[in-house]
Amino acid sequence: MCAAFAVLVAGLLAFHRVVPNSVGRVGSLLETFLPWLWLLVVALFGLALLRRSALALVALLLPAAVWTYLFGGLLLPGEERSDLVVVQHNVSDVNPDPVGTALALAGGRPDLIALQELVHPALAHYEKTLAPAYPYHAVHGTVGLWSKHPLTGARPLDVKPRGIAGPWSRGLRAVVRTPRGEVAVYVAHLPSVRVRASGLASSWRDESAGLLGAAVAAEKVERVILLGDLNGTVDDRGLAPLTSRMNVAERGLAFSFPAAFPVARIDQVMARSATVGRLRTLPATGSDHLPVVGSVTLR
């Protein structure tokens, strides 16, 4: 029995794309927590030892190997060299300490800081606190970008699903004039998903990801960086319109949500014509997300 379960876990890891998404988006739900299947491997290992089953122990090499292939590289140390250091953070619209949050994000002196859930009057605190080190910034709706380098062409980005009524502005695009040339930077906050008895409710998120992916595909500036709370992991097929077009992090798990006990990285740094190196998280702020810091090397 242990050996059969080991083969099943290996199959889920290796062939998660074949798990259907038609009912309850079970495939996306599995992919959200895919790295955590190592817990099943550990549990099966303990059971195999308890039963002294040599067959089960040998069979467990299969899921262990697949997991290592998929996620082991993320645990390796990454190169420190980069052209840009970026911070992505959903600051929470009920953050009790926007000033302290802004100071924490700027403490490492990143080149770019992308924020979501910016609301009044907290927005004024972020603007005032970040202004000395980040003279260039753009805010549209509830998302914003702060930069050490000049910004041009800042404009709203329409990623609003058709089913959402009323005002809803959670995307922007701007061009950053870096020492290495122009980079189009997208900041986005995709709709939330919910785990219900019927499965994963992610249709609005998936639709919004499609709109964002189309915008990236149409972008004329060659180098693109996407910073956002995408409410999905890079393994989730719901983000395929983005992950199929952009590079994701080569190092670092950087689980960012929920801040109290992070189980998934739904805050993402992606790039086109650039490499995303190691991602890591910063200590908790007044948000329910952890800030994510990434290094980006331009091509």
Question: How confident is the model at residue 158, as a pLDDT?
Answer: 96
Does residue 78 register a pLDDT over 80?
A: no
Strand 112-116 to 194-196 pairing:
unpaired
Mean pLDDT score of the chain: 95
Question: How confident is the model at residue 53, as a pLDDT?
Answer: 87
Question: How confident is the model at residue 23, as a pLDDT?
Answer: 84
C-alpha count within 13 angstroms, C-beta hemisphere, residue 246: 32
Does residue 279 register a pLDDT over 80?
A: yes
Does residue 170 register a pLDDT over 90?
A: yes
Closest CA to 236 of 90, 4, 30: 30
What would the two tokens of residue 107 be?
Answer: 């403490």
Question: Using one digit for the tens of pLDDT, what is the confidence trace for 178-228?
Answer: 999 999 999 999 999 988 877 788 999 999 999 999 999 999 999 999 999
Cis, bond preceding 121 (omega within 30 deg of 0): yes
Cis, bond preceding 258 (omega within 30 deg of 0): yes
Of the chain, the percentage scoring pLDDT greater than 70 comes to 99
Question: How confident is the model at residue 291, as a pLDDT?
Answer: 98
- Residues 6 or more apart in contact with residue 230 via CB below 8 angstroms: 188, 190, 205, 209, 239, 242, 266, 267, 268
Mean pLDDT: which of 80-89, 102-111, 187-196 is highest?
A: 102-111
Question: Using one digit for the tens of pLDDT, what is the confidence trace for 25-39?
Answer: 999 999 999 999 999
Question: How confident is the model at residue 196, as a pLDDT?
Answer: 80
DSSP 65: H
The reply to whether CATH 3.60.10.10 applies to domain 84-298 is yes
3-state percent breakdown (helix, strand, coil) of the chain, nearest 5: 35, 25, 40
Where along the chain do its domains lie?
2-75, 84-298
Closest CA to 294 of 247, 232, 252, 239: 252
Question: How confident is the model at residue 200, as a pLDDT?
Answer: 86
What would the two tokens of residue 3 be?
Answer: 């050996």
Which CA distances in Å does 142 have to 120, 146, 150, 239?
A: 9, 13, 21, 21
Question: How confident is the model at residue 245, as a pLDDT?
Answer: 97
Question: How confident is the model at residue 80, as a pLDDT?
Answer: 66
Strand 84-90 to 112-116 pairing:
parallel
Which CA distances in Å does 139 have to 70, 113, 136, 201?
A: 37, 12, 11, 29
